[in-house]
Chain A
C-alpha cells in the first residue's frame, strides 16, 4: 500500500513540476513578447512605482531623454528592456537633461497623477500582485518638456492594483519637436498673412468710409451704393482673416483667456444696443429674458462678446423679416445658461452637429445668400469650452433654432 501511495505521490509531484515548468515557460514567453514590444516602440516608456522610483525604462527612453549611455548598462539587458544605473533611482534622475522648469512641471504632473487615482497611497511593503493600469475614461495627464532644444510630450497614467490602491505611474514619452515646429511655422504663416492682408484692408475700408461719409464731397446714389458694396466686402474679408487667425491660435493652444467677474446681462444689453440698427433694417424684433439677481460669471469679456455677436449674427442672418430673436439667461446650480432663440429657417437634423465643424455651411438657399466663413460656430464652441462651459443647439426646420451655452458662476478666491 505504501509503495502504491509513494508512486501516486511521485506522479502527482511530477505533474505539478511539469505544470509549473509550463507556466514558467509561458510567463517567460509573455515577458519576452512584452519586452520585444517595449524595445520596438519609438515612444519611451518609463514605469515608476508608488514612491516615484524607476522600475522599468525601455530603450527609446534613453534616446528621447538624452541620457548618458552609462546610465544604462546595456550588457545587463534582461530580455529587451533596459536595466541599469537609473533603475531604482528617483524618476527625476531620468529627466536630468530637462530644463529646471520642465522638471518642476513633471514633478507636479507625477503628484497629480497619484492624486488623480483618487485613492490613498500604498503602504510601503504591501504586496503588489495584480498591478494594472487604471481603467478610466479620463485622458492621461500630458505635459510638454524642454530637453536640449527638443520638445518631449510626457503622458502620465496612474496604475492601480487589485485593491484599487495607487501602485505607480506609467510615463509615455514622445519627441514632438517636429510637430511643434510645424505648428509654430503654420501659426507664424497665418499671423504673417493676416498682418499683410490687414494693412491693405485698412486703406480700402478707411478710404471707403471717408467717401461714404462725404469727407471728400457728396456722392450720388449709385456711387454710394457701389461704395457700400466695397465696404461690406472688405468687412467680410476682415472677418475671414480674423476667424482664420482665431482658428489657427485655438489649434495651437495660443489663445489665453483673461478671466474675471463678468455681468452677463450688462454685456448682452450693451451688444443689443450696437445691433439695434441692424435689427431695425432687417425688420426683426429683439427680446430679453434677463431675470433680476443673476450671478456674475467667470469669463473673458472680449471673448464672450465675440461668442454672443456670432450667435446673434447667425440669428439675424437666418431669420426672415418679421421674425423674433430672444436672449434668455437663467442661473443654474453653479453655472449660468444663455439661450439665443430665433424664429428663423431652422437647421436640419443632419446639419446640427456639422455646423460646429470648420468651414461647414448648411446647404440652404438662405444660408448661401448670406456671407459667412463657416468658422464662427467652431470658434464659439472652442472658446466656451475653454471657459469650462458647453455650447449646443436645438432646432426645428421652419420653426427656429436655440443656441445655448453655459459659463461657470464667478466665485471669490483662486481663479478656476
Chain B
C-alpha cells in the first residue's frame, strides 16, 4: 500500500486529506508542521509527500528543500497543496523539486487523480529506467 505523508497545519484540512486518501486506499502519515514533515519523512520513508506551504516553525518550501537535499528522497514525489497561487510561488515550488502544485480549494477527487497520475508516471519511469 502506498504510504503518504500529509503535512498541513490546519486540522480540518489535514483530516479532509487523510479521510480522502484512506477512502481511496492509501495509508496516511499526518504531520502538523514543516519540521514534523522533515522528521517523519526521515523516520517513516513515505512513498509520497503532500506539503502545505504556509506552516508554523518550518514552511512547506523549507521542508521540501531539507527533504530534497537528502539523496534517499531525491526521487520521492512531492505534491504542494497551497492557497498561494502566484506564478512566482508555483515556480518556486517546482524549482525546489515538487512534482505537482495544487491550488486550494481543491476537490478530493482532483487530489486523488493527481496522486494516481504520479504513481503511473513513476512506474513508467521505473520501467523505462530498467529497460535502458
Tally of contact residues, B, Cβ under 8 A: 23
Q: Are A256 and B20 in contact (CB under 8 A)?
A: no
Q: Are B109 and A206 in contact (CB under 8 A)?
A: no
Complex contacts, B19 vs chain A, CB 8 Å:
210, 215
Nearest-neighbour CB distance to chain A for B8, whole angstroms, equals: 10
Q: Mark A195-213, 1 if CB is under 8 A from B, else 0.
A: 1001101111111011001
Q: How far is the CA of A209 from the CA of B12 in the complex (A)?
A: 14
Q: Evaluate whether A202 and B108 lie within 8 angstroms (CB atoms) in the complex, with A215-B23, A245-B85, A249-B86 already known.
A: no
Q: Which A-chain residue is minimally distant from B81 (CB atoms)?
A: A202
Which of A195, A207, A249, A258 touches B16 (beta carbons < 8 Å)? Answer: A207
Nearest-neighbour CB distance to chain A for B123, whole angstroms, equals: 23
Q: Evaluate whether A258 and B87 lie within 8 angstroms (CB atoms) in the complex, with A202-B13, A206-B13 already known.
A: yes
Q: Are B105 and A210 in contact (CB under 8 A)?
A: no
Q: Which A-chain residue is minimally distant from B16 (CB atoms)?
A: A206
Whether B54 sits at the interface, judged by CB under 8 Å, is yes
- CB contact list, A229-266 vs B, under 8 A: 234, 238, 242, 245, 249, 254-256, 258
Which of A199, A206, A209, A255 touches B87 (beta carbons < 8 Å)? Answer: A255
Complex contacts, B83 vs chain A, CB 8 Å:
194-195, 198-199, 202
Q: Which A-chain residue is minimally distant from B89 (CB atoms)?
A: A191
Q: How far is the CA of A255 from the CA of B17 in the complex (A)?
A: 30
Q: How far is the CA of A35 from the CA of B8 in the complex (A)?
A: 64
Q: How far is the CA of A392 from the CA of B32 in the complex (A)?
A: 49
Q: How far is the CA of A195 from the CA of B87 in the complex (A)?
A: 15
Which of A198, A207, A249, A256 touches B104 (beta carbons < 8 Å)? Answer: A198
Tally of contact residues, A, Cβ under 8 A: 25
Nearest-neighbour CB distance to chain B for A209, whole angstroms, equals: 5
Complex contacts, B54 vs chain A, CB 8 Å:
195
Complex contacts, A258 vs chain B, CB 8 Å:
87, 91
Q: How far is the CA of A238 from the CA of B110 in the complex (A)?
A: 15
Q: How far is the CA of A162 from the CA of B23 in the complex (A)?
A: 79
Complex contacts, A238 vs chain B, CB 8 Å:
105
Complex contacts, B10 vs chain A, CB 8 Å:
199, 202-203
Nearest-neighbour CB distance to chain B for A163, whole angstroms, equals: 47
Whether B2 sits at the interface, judged by CB under 8 Å, is no
Q: Are B109 and A213 in contact (CB under 8 A)?
A: yes
Q: Are A202 and B88 in contact (CB under 8 A)?
A: no
Q: Mark A322-348, 1 if CB is under 8 A from B, else 0.
A: 000000000000000000000000000
Q: Are A203 and B109 in contact (CB under 8 A)?
A: no
Q: How far is the CA of A258 from the CA of B107 in the complex (A)?
A: 26
Nearest-neighbour CB distance to chain A for B15, whole angstroms, equals: 9
Complex contacts, B16 vs chain A, CB 8 Å:
202-203, 206-207, 210
Q: How far is the CA of A411 from the CA of B109 in the complex (A)?
A: 38
Complex contacts, A207 vs chain B, CB 8 Å:
12, 16
Known: A202-B106, A210-B16, A242-B85. 20 other contacts (CB 8 A): A194-B83, A194-B85, A195-B83, A195-B84, A201-B105, A202-B13, A202-B105, A203-B13, A205-B107, A206-B105, A206-B106, A209-B108, A210-B19, A210-B23, A210-B108, A213-B109, A238-B105, A245-B85, A249-B86, A254-B86
